[in-house]
Chains A and B, each alone.
Chain A
C-alpha cells in the first residue's frame, strides 16, 4: 500500500453526493406521501396524486443502498 492522497476526493464526493441524493429523494417521498393527507383535509376529497411519485421515491432509496452495497462488496478496493 502506498500513500494514496487522491482517495480523499472520491470519498468526499461520494459521501456528500450520495447522502444528499438519498436525503432529497426520501424527503420528496415523504412530501408526496404527506401532502395528499393535507389536501384531503382542506378539500374533503381523496388526494391520491403524489402517492405514485412518493412510492417511486421510496423504492429508489433501497435501490441506491443495494447498488452501494454491491459496489462495496463485489467490486474490489484499490489495494
Chain B
C-alpha cells in the first residue's frame, strides 16, 4: 500500500463520487417505466434497484478490464489526469441531471478521461481505434438493437393478449415488470459499477500499486458497488420523470417489453466487453416500446433533445476533463487543489439550483403531466 499517495486517495474518492452520480443519474434506466405504470411504488423501486446494483457489481469484471486496459494508454496516464477526467465527468453528469436529460454516464466518464489524457499526455495517449470499437460503435448500435427488440416484443405482446381482459393483462404485465425491472438493475450493476472499478484499477496501475492488465481487487469491487447502490437509492427523480412520462405514455406490457429488451442487450454486450451506455439502451427500448403500441404517442421533441445530449456528452465531458487536466498538469499541487475546489463549488451550485424546483418520490409521476398541459411543448424537456 506504499504506492497509495494522497493524490491517489483523492482520485479514488472522486471516482466513487462519480459512481454515486452514475447511480442516481441511471436509476431511471431500470425503474422509470415501472414507476410510471405503477408496477412498483417509487421508494420500493429505488431500494430494489440499489440492492441489485450492488449485487450486479460482483458478478462480472469484463467491462472494467476494457477501461483499465483499453481506451487510454495505461503507461502514459497519471493519477492527476484521471482526477481531472473524473471532475469533468461529474460536472457533466450533474448538469444533465439538473436538466432532466438521460445522457450517458459512461460517455461522460470516457469523454472526461479522453479529454484529460489528450490534454495531459498528447493524442497518442488515447487509443482511438479502441474508442471507436468499444465505445462509439456500441453507442450507435445498442439503442437501435434495444429499440427494435422492444418494438417487436411490444407488438407481439399486444397482439397475443388482444382478446384477453385488459385489466387482467395490465395486472399480469405489472407483476412481470417487477422481475424485468429488477433484472435491468442487476445488469446495470454488472455494467456501470464496473466502469468506476476500471477507473480505480487504472489509477492503481498508473501509481504502480498494481501490475499492468491487473484485475480489480475485491475492495475496489465492493466500494464501487456500494457507491453506485447508494446513488441509485437516492433516486434521480428528474430523469425518472423524463423517461417514464416524457418520452411516451408507457403501459405495463410496453414497460415489460422495454425492460426485457434492455436487460438482454446490456448483458450480452457486457459479456463481450462492450462498455455500452445503459442509458442509451434503456431510452432506445422505451422509444421502441412506444412505437410498438398502436396509437401510442412518442414525443419526438423530447427524444430529439435527448439525442442531442447523447451527441455532445462525450465531447463536452472531454472539454471539461481537458481543461481540468491542463490546470492540474501546469499548476501542480496548487492546480489540483484549485480544480477540486472549483469542481466542488460548481457541483454544489447545481445541487442548490435543483432544490428550487425539486422532483422527488411524491411528485415524480404527476408534475410532468400538469406541465404538459400548461406549458408549450418546447419547454417540457427543459423543465423536466
Tell me the bound Cα distance from A48 to B137 in angstroms.
50
- Asked if B70 contacts A23 (CB within 8 A), the reply is no
Residues on A with beta carbons closer than 8 Å to the beta carbon of B133 = 3-5
Residues on B with beta carbons closer than 8 Å to the beta carbon of A18 = 264, 268
Residues on A with beta carbons closer than 8 Å to the beta carbon of B46 = none
- Tell me if A15 is interfacial: C-beta within 8 Å of chain B: yes
- Asked if A35 contacts B270 (CB within 8 A), the reply is no
Tell me the bound Cα distance from A28 to B159 in angstroms.
10
Nearest Cβ in chain A — how far from B55, in angstroms?
11
Nearest Cβ in chain B — how far from A45, in angstroms?
16
B interface size (C-beta, 8 A) = 52
Residues on B with beta carbons closer than 8 Å to the beta carbon of A52 = none
Among the interface residues B146, B176, B256, B270, which one has the most CB atoms of the partner chain A within 10 A? Answer: B176
Chain A interface size band reads 35 or more
Residues on A with beta carbons closer than 8 Å to the beta carbon of B196 = none
Among the interface residues B163, B264, B274, which one has the most CB atoms of the partner chain A within 10 A? Answer: B264
Residues on A with beta carbons closer than 8 Å to the beta carbon of B176 = 26, 30, 61
Tell me the bound Cα distance from A22 to B261 in angstroms.
9
A48-79 to B contact mask, C-beta < 8 Å, 1/0: 00000000000001100100110111000111
Tell me the bound Cα distance from A18 to B69 in angstroms.
31
- Asked if B273 contacts A20 (CB within 8 A), the reply is no
Nearest Cβ in chain B — how far from A24, in angstroms?
5
- Asked if B164 contacts A35 (CB within 8 A), the reply is yes
- Asked if B172 contacts A34 (CB within 8 A), the reply is yes
B112-128 to A contact mask, C-beta < 8 Å, 1/0: 00000000000000000
Residues on A with beta carbons closer than 8 Å to the beta carbon of B69 = 1
Q: Which residues on A are within 8 Å of B, measured CB to CB?
A: 1, 3-5, 7-8, 10-12, 14-16, 18-20, 22-24, 26-31, 33-35, 37-38, 41, 61-62, 65, 68-69, 71-73, 77-79
Q: Which residues on B are within 8 Å of A, measured CB to CB?
A: 59-60, 62, 65-66, 69-70, 129-130, 133, 137, 141-142, 145-146, 148-150, 152-154, 156-157, 160-161, 163-165, 168-169, 172-173, 176, 179, 183, 190, 253, 256-257, 260-261, 263-265, 267-274
